[in-house]
Amino acid sequence: MRLRFRDSGKGAFAARLISLYKLGFLNHKWGNYMINMKILLLAAAASGLAMPTLAQEMRCGNRLISGDQIHPLIKEQVLEICGEPTSKQFDRWFYEAQGKILVFNDNGELDHIEDAASTD
């Protein structure tokens, strides 16, 4: 079931409450409401932890590069835009100032960008 909420305006909060009530997350009894909200929050937290970050980006000066561009950047283009990385390990380039690791595929194209903190 898909929820549709109005972004703003009068009654947006009420529309959200009605949708949550119809899905069974809100009950007229306070105790059931608390239990259902705990389940909802646990499910939301678990789904957030289970989902990998898909589209990482990195800012280099006034440019924003991404691993999911239509025309992937090659190593030479990344060097021109971002400069020399702090360190290189095969096809993984570490940029300490941005806290990012750029991963290239076998063709030398930027495959994806990782947070350096999440790979420790």
pLDDT at 102 over 70: yes
The Cα–Cα gap between 74 and 7 comes to: 40
What integer pLDDT is reported at residue 48 of this predicted model? Answer: 56
Q: Which residue has the higher pLDDT, 68 or 110?
A: 110
- Calculate mean pLDDT across residues 87-109: 93
Written as one letter, the residue type at 110 is L
pLDDT of amino acid 44: 64
pLDDT at 31 over 60: no
Q: What share of the chain is helix, strand, coil (3-state, %, to 5)?
A: 35, 25, 40
Question: What is the pLDDT, as a whole number, of residue 76?
Answer: 95
Residue type, 62: N
Q: What is the mean pLDDT of residues 42-66?
A: 71
- Rounded to the nearest integer, the mean pLDDT of the chain is 76
Share of the chain above pLDDT 90, in %: 34
Burial-class residue 111 by CB neighbours within 10 Å (0-12, 13-18, 19+).
Answer: middle
Cα torsion through 17, 21, 23, 29, rounded to 10: 140
CA torsion sign for 84, 89, 90, 95 is negative
